[in-house]
Copies of this chain bind each other. A is one copy, B any other.
Amino acid sequence: MTFDERVFYRNRRVLITGGLGFIGSNLARRLVDLGAEVLVVDSLIPDYGGNLFNIDGVEDRLTVNISDVRDESSMNYLVRGQDVIFNLAGQVSHVDSMKDPYTDLEINCRSQLSLLEACRKNSPRVKIVFAGTRQVYGHPDSLPVTEDHLVRPVDVNGINKVAGEYYHLVYNNAFGIRTCSLRLTNVYGPRQLVKHNRQGFIGWFIRLAVEDREIELFGDGSQVRDFVFVDDAAEAFLKAGASEECDGGVYNIGGTEPLSLRDLVQKLLGVAKAGRVRYVEWPPEKKRIDIGDFYADSSKFTRTVGWRPTVSLDEGLTRAVTFYREHLEHYVGDA
């Protein structure tokens, strides 16, 4: 079943955790245009992706509340009266999670419980859409990966993210808080963190191309991935938030066309008409948490809400490169 989320969100009260971050801010901008009353919550922890420039131009059409999802009192207050919560706050660095597993636990597990407990007590009729990750599958047994694939995370971040997802499902089933989870594959596009390379490679690669620098690929760059342009990802959240059919479910959000990192970089260098590539040996701390080839089967979500990715990689990379060429100063800096 499909529906028109343009109508659904008009005058709806929507809270976005991690709303100054990459996907959160793109979603916030979209919701503002749809006439929603948007409350953006973000902790602005350095290095995590929140960036006030991400809401440049729409700051007067939404409300920003700087606070941490781990802060139970704030969350108890902020969730009240919300119709939909897009729950995107998180620590997303896999490498960091292996160096400091406790912080990852606090943010990706404890804060999810805080949010869910806040809703159970203060906003039991809200709908929550959780930002999950394809990382929970680990090394795939077969491709494309469906939601029936075993969960087998390869790092602490993947474990805590799946625990956070499971909490949402349990609160749906046991307490009637309506929730679902979108397991996102590699998302890219404007407003992504590109200050450092610990939050995934694609934003970093785009920055290097824009700066006419060298991109390092590990091994022979033959690992296959799929990529979702951020507008497609935002659309997936909108559809999930407006759909009752999704409640209690997990859904893969995959990209348009799987390809090797080698081919991705060639495409990016062609679009940017800048940058170059170099092949280097795998660093051991990355190799041991790498998952080999991965691309997702999103047909369950397509069947449920009619979503499918629409922005081709050529178009998406062009839009991303154009954005960072114009605004790079707001995305580099002290990191």
Contact = CB atoms under 8 A, between A and B. Distances in A.
Contacts of A167: 101, 156, 159
A274 interface: no
A160 B164 CA distance: 10
B105 A174 contact: no
A148 interface: yes
Copies in the complex: 2
A279 interface: no
Contact of A148 (B109, B150, B166): B150
A156 B164 CA distance: 10
Contact of A174 (B155, B160, B174): B155
A332 to B, nearest CB: 31
For the residues of A in contact with B, the DSSP-based class is helix
B166 A153 contact: yes
A8 B235 CA distance: 59
A102 interface: yes
A101 B114 CA distance: 9
Contacts of A102: 110, 113
Interface in A150-198: 150-156, 158-160, 162-163, 166-167, 169-170, 173-174
Interface string A69-95: 000000000000000000000000000
Q: How large is the interface on A (under 10, 10 to 19, 20 to 34, 35 or more residues)?
A: 20 to 34
B113 A105 contact: yes
Contact of A160 (B148, B163, B173, B289): B163
A113 B105 CA distance: 9
Contacts of A117: 101
A289 B154 contact: no
A98 interface: yes
Nearest to A104: B113
Given A163-B109, A288-B173, A150 B153 contact: no
Contacts of A153: 166, 170
Interface string A119-161: 0000000000000000000000000000010111111101110
Contacts of A109: 105, 109, 163
A151 B151 contact: yes
A174 B154 contact: yes
A163 B159 contact: yes
A174 B110 contact: no
A98 B174 contact: yes
B148 A170 contact: no
Contact of A170 (B150, B159, B166, B169): B159
A170 B98 CA distance: 10
A162 B150 CA distance: 13
Contacts of A148: 150
Nearest to A139: B173
Given A101-B113, A102-B113, A170 B151 contact: no
A148 B149 CA distance: 10
Given A102-B113, A152-B169, A162-B163, 9 more contacts: A101-B113, A105-B110, A148-B150, A151-B151, A154-B173, A155-B174, A156-B170, A160-B163, A174-B289
7 contacts: A101-B117, A101-B167, A102-B113, A105-B113, A154-B173, A159-B166, A159-B167
